[in-house]
Amino acid sequence: MKLSGAQILWECLEREGVEVVFGYPGGATLPIYDALDSSPIHHVLVRHEQGAVHMADGYARASGRIGVALATSGPGATNLITGIVTAFMDSSPVVCITGQVISPLIGYDAFQETDVTGITLPITKHNYLITDVHEIPSIVHEAFYIAGSGRPGPVLIDITKDAQQEVIEWEYEEMTVHLPGYRPDLSPRSNDLAYAVQMIRVAKRPVILVGQGVLTSGAMAEVFEFATQTQSPVASTLLGLGSFPANHPLYLGMMGMHGEAWVNQTIQNADLLLAFGMRFSDRVTGKISTFAPNAKKIHIDIDPSEINKNVTVDLGLVGDLKEILEKLLPQIESAEHAEWLSQIEGWKQDASVRDIKNMQENGHLHAAHVIHDIWRCTNGDALVVSDVGQNQMWTAQYYRHNQPYTAITSGGLGTMGFGLPAAIGAKFARPEKEVWIIAGDGGFQMTQSELSTIVQEGIKINIAIMNNGYLGMVRQWQEFFYENRYSSTPIISPDFAKIAEAHGLTGIRVTKREEVETAIRKAQSLPESVIIDFRVEKEDCVYPMVPSNAAIDSMIRRPVPQADHQK
Amino acid sequence: MRHTFVALVEDKPGVLNRVVSVFRRRTFNIESLAVGQTNQPGISRITIVVDSDKTEVDRIIPYMYKLINVIQVEDITYKPRVTRDLVMVKVNTTSENRSEIMKLADVFRAHIVDVASNSLIIEITGDEEKVNSFVDVLRPYGIIEMVRTGMVAMERGTETIFNNYFESQGFRMPVEFKFAS
Ligand SMILES: Cc1ncc(C[n+]2csc(CCOP(=O)(O)OP(=O)(O)O)c2C)c(N)n1
Ligand SMILES: [Mg+2]
């Protein structure tokens, strides 16, 4: 068949199983857009290319499939950058396709020419520049393979306009990937597994640390079996939320900077850490030299460069978590650890007086209450995408996920503005799911323009804005560490309910605790997307908090209100 | 402390840039860098020397392996090895000192590769020590220009760069990568 590079591209994408592409057109992608018509792939027109990558990223995180973003050369491509790094930091499989000026013009500072492969070199798992139409099929195939295998990540393909335009005789053929330097499928030696079994057998105070790798590997059932068989409590990283059911007695909650006190205490007192698909980020470990000082550490990760990177471990097992646990499980003995579990229960009881949910009604609307109510009204079953800041941490603390792939947030990069577009992508991946966004007033304004995308696509998402009039998380640091000097953190917002109305959506404003549930129920019942503007307590803080580079059990705790305490 | 890394990489545009980026991002200063083809079509060999006391220097290898086009990497700093650097020095000469310089070159087993009325180009190959002392000897005559290829290195004996890194780290490789000779 005689096909243009652009037509070949769409067919290759289709062969990779792509159903939806998030993009924005321009001069250097005109041939690609012209050929879109004859493809069954659905194209979602975004309002900013950053949104396109976040959508592809949200799509990938919600489904485990590869998300695709498409942008034109120059400014289109540079607008992708924040999205690409967000996906890169959180190991999300995204393929970005950018148009490039015709190949004879490359290097001449042509109109909208940007060295995109140069710019994205350190922020992609791999990238390609295609100048020859014949390379399109094999590179697209390779790109999808690399993005989705091993430790997933974003891959960018920059395609010159002449390569898109050229017509060649072409027929799709099955392809094999030849990448001599790429080893996504390593596995540990059997004597290392035996060593792990032994360490697990002698442990008295084990704790499992689950990270996003559990979700990537699809090892939820194996982790569950491992935890229950060895009666090991389970702590989660921010990105691991949902990989272990929050309603299970062995589940502790989130660890780290804003982890629950008892979770961090458990880690600090453990004699064995079982790190499953997590990377000991500084937000998790606090000051490294004080981290889990009495624990032996077993680290299972698919990326060999993570072993001994942040924390020196006693045993590193490199490979797919699910496979490794499948090998370990038959060799693991059942255990009780009753004493250890009751010690943890004690820490939990101590913390409960500081839990805002247990505090007396004081007429204030706390974001924690709102998120707790959203959790209650959705039976903990919604797909929740949070933005970045206090709202994100409260969501992590108060929305308790029992299902995998239902908690989506930007962890490694902490990208404000991620929430709305990522939720749009997630909704495309799982249209049957009830999707909620929990965002701050600041972050929401960063990508608010994607509301029009929601309208154009006619999709249903519920948006809860924790409107505290501040860039709250930064304000919190100013309160704690800069003597309440709130420099540039008070922020004015538009009336979000009216913003919703301007888009033909429904907007609700909530100022009192008793209005919360009604508003949530109303949003759930309406067919269109809804924004609820929750006017929450302005100067609330996320507790507990580990100051940066402190030990994770030296936390700033929520002050216990005197009146409450005495009762 | 100086570290010598040897890497086999796919011979494709931009690969050198990726490799060097691993060092740049972690603020290592590359002292010398040599790239060339190997006996394997499509595979280039890179020798990189860095002088660093940072402990992260040990992390370079795992980071390099993250690059899709990197096939093999080794830090051969502590291995018995042969290292060579090729230098060309253009030196001022006069009719009085020319034969003296040529004699010196002879002592170092260096070669005169270009002769002009009042300059010479001398080429010398050797390990760093030899090359540096020859350059020092020439300095008083007035070095006009100098170029070095950068260090290349090879392990002594039958050991090769093709030895498996992951095997030595205790990770089993799913596939054996064998290179036809
Ligand atoms: C793009 C971007 N810019 C700046 C920051 C730094 N930052 C982290 S949290 C935060 C405040 C977020 O404010 P808001 O969205 O209102 O959420 P809140 O913390 O009030 O819940 C800021 C500015 C960031 N993470 N991302
Ligand atoms: Mg705010």
Helix (H), strand (E) counts: chain B:
5, 10
- The whole-angstrom separation of Cα A149 and Cα A145 is 6
**B59/A309 Cβ within 8 A:** yes
Residue B158: predicted pLDDT: 82
| Of A413, A469, A460, A415, the residue nearest A440 (C-alpha) | A469
Q: Whose CA is nearest to atom 2 of ligand 1?
A: A416
In the block, residue with structure tokens 């002592």: B107
For CA atoms A367, A368, A369, A372, the dihedral sign is positive
Distances (CA, A) of A400 to A206, A241, A251, A512, B90: 23, 8, 10, 23, 73
CATH top class, domain A2-169: alpha beta
CA angle A130, A135, A140 (to 5 degrees): 80
Q: Whose CA is nearest to atom 4 of ligand 1?
A: A416
The first and second tokens of residue A96, run together, are 């970005």
**Which CATH number does B2-78 carry?**
3.30.70.260
Burial (CB count <10 Å: 0-12, 13-18, 19+), residue A109 = exposed
**CB of A179 less than 8 A from some CB of B:** yes
- With contact defined as beta carbons under 8 Å apart, do B73 and B121 qualify? no
Nearest CA distance, A117 vs chain B (angstrom): 9
Chain B residues within 8 A of A307 when measuring between CB atoms: 62
* pLDDT over threshold 90, residue B169: no
Chain A residues within 8 A of B13 when measuring between CB atoms: 129
Residue A428: predicted pLDDT: 98
**B166/A186 Cβ within 8 A:** yes
Q: Which ligand is nearest to the CA of A474?
A: 1
pTM: 0.95
The first and second tokens of residue A422, run together, are 């990522």
For CA atoms B24, B26, B29, B34, the dihedral sign is negative
For chain A, residues classed under CATH 3.40.50.970 are: 2-169, 356-535
Could you confirm whether domain A356-535 is CATH 3.40.50.970?
Answer: yes
For chain A, residues classed under CATH 3.40.50.1220 are: 190-350
E strand or H helix at B35: strand B30-37
The percent helix, strand, coil of chain B (3-state, each to 5) is: 30, 40, 35
- With contact defined as beta carbons under 8 Å apart, do A237 and A173 qualify? no
**CB of B68 less than 8 A from some CB of A:** yes
Chain B residues within 8 A of A309 when measuring between CB atoms: 59, 62
- Chain B residue with CA closest to A192: the answer is B170
Chain A residues within 8 A of B71 when measuring between CB atoms: 180-181
ipTM above 0.85 for this complex: yes
Where are chain B's structural domains? 2-78, 82-152
Atom of ligand 1 nearest to the CA of A82: 1
Three-class SS of A291-307: CCCCCEEEEEECCHHHC
Instruction: Give the up-direction half-sphere exposure of residue A269: CA atoms within 13 A in the CB hemisphere.
Output: 16
Q: Give the SS3 label for residue B88.
A: strand
Distances (CA, A) of A184 to A150, A153, A303, A395: 4, 12, 8, 33
- With contact defined as beta carbons under 8 Å apart, do A238 and A263 qualify? no
Dihedral angle at the C-alpha atoms of A50, A54, A56, A58, nearest 10 degrees? -170
Q: Whose CA is nearest to atom 20 of ligand 1?
A: A472
**A126/B171 Cβ within 8 A:** no
**Which CATH number does A190-350 carry?**
3.40.50.1220
Interface probe for A, chosen from B43, B45, B66, B67 (most Cβ of A below 10 Å), is: B66
Q: Give the SS3 label for residue A117.
A: helix
Second-level CATH architecture of B82-152: 2-Layer Sandwich (3.30)
Q: Which ligand is nearest to the CA of A467?
A: 2
Residue B179: predicted pLDDT: 36
- Chain A residue with CA closest to B70: the answer is A181
- The whole-angstrom separation of Cα B13 and Cα A129 is 10
Distances (CA, A) of A421 to A356, A399, A447: 30, 20, 7
- The whole-angstrom separation of Cα B53 and Cα A28 is 47
**B177/A186 Cβ within 8 A:** no
**Which residues 6+ apart lie within 8 Å of A492 measured at CB?**
A469
* CB A99 less than 6 A from any atom of ligand 1: no
Q: What's the A500 CA to ligand 1 centre distance in angstroms?
A: 22
Q: Which of A473, A486, A542, A545 to mutate to test the pocket of ligand 1 (most atoms within 8 A of CB)?
A: A473
Residue B163: predicted pLDDT: 61
**Which residues 6+ apart lie within 8 Å of B132 measured at CB?**
none
- The whole-angstrom separation of Cα A133 and Cα A482 is 57
DSSP E strands in A365-461: the ranges are 383-386, 407-408, 435-440
Task: Determine the residue type at A56.
Answer: A
| Of A93, A83, A102, the residue nearest A158 (C-alpha) | A102
Three-class SS of A45-85: ECCCHHHHHHHHHHHHHHHCCCEEEEECCCHHHHCCHHHHH
- With contact defined as beta carbons under 8 Å apart, do A127 and A115 qualify? no
Q: Give the SS3 label for residue B159.
A: coil
The first and second tokens of residue A61, run together, are 């995180």
Residues of A tagged active-site: 49, 111-112, 161, 473
The residues in B 85-114 lying below 8 A from A, measured between CB atoms, are: none
pLDDT beneath 50: ranges in chain A: 564-567
Q: What's the A444 CA to ligand 1 centre distance in angstroms?
A: 10
| Of A61, A177, A186, A49, the residue nearest A120 (C-alpha) | A49
Residue B181: predicted pLDDT: 34
Buried b (16+ CB within 10 A) or exposed e, B87-110: bbbbbebeeeebeebeebbeebeb
- The whole-angstrom separation of Cα B62 and Cα A307 is 9
**Residue B177 banded pLDDT, cuts 50, 70, 90:** very low
Distances (CA, A) of B21 to A122, A169, B24, B42: 7, 39, 5, 21
Q: Give the SS3 label for residue A44.
A: strand
* CB A391 less than 6 A from any atom of ligand 1: yes
Residue A358: predicted pLDDT: 78
* pLDDT over threshold 90, residue B160: no
Q: Which of A416, A448, A478, A538 to mutate to test the pocket of ligand 1 (most atoms within 8 A of CB)?
A: A416
* CB A534 less than 6 A from any atom of ligand 1: no
Residue B178: predicted pLDDT: 35
Q: Whose CA is nearest to atom 24 of ligand 1?
A: A416
Which residues on adjacent β-strands are paired with residue A299? A275, A316
What's the average model confidence in pLDDT over B111-140? Answer: 96
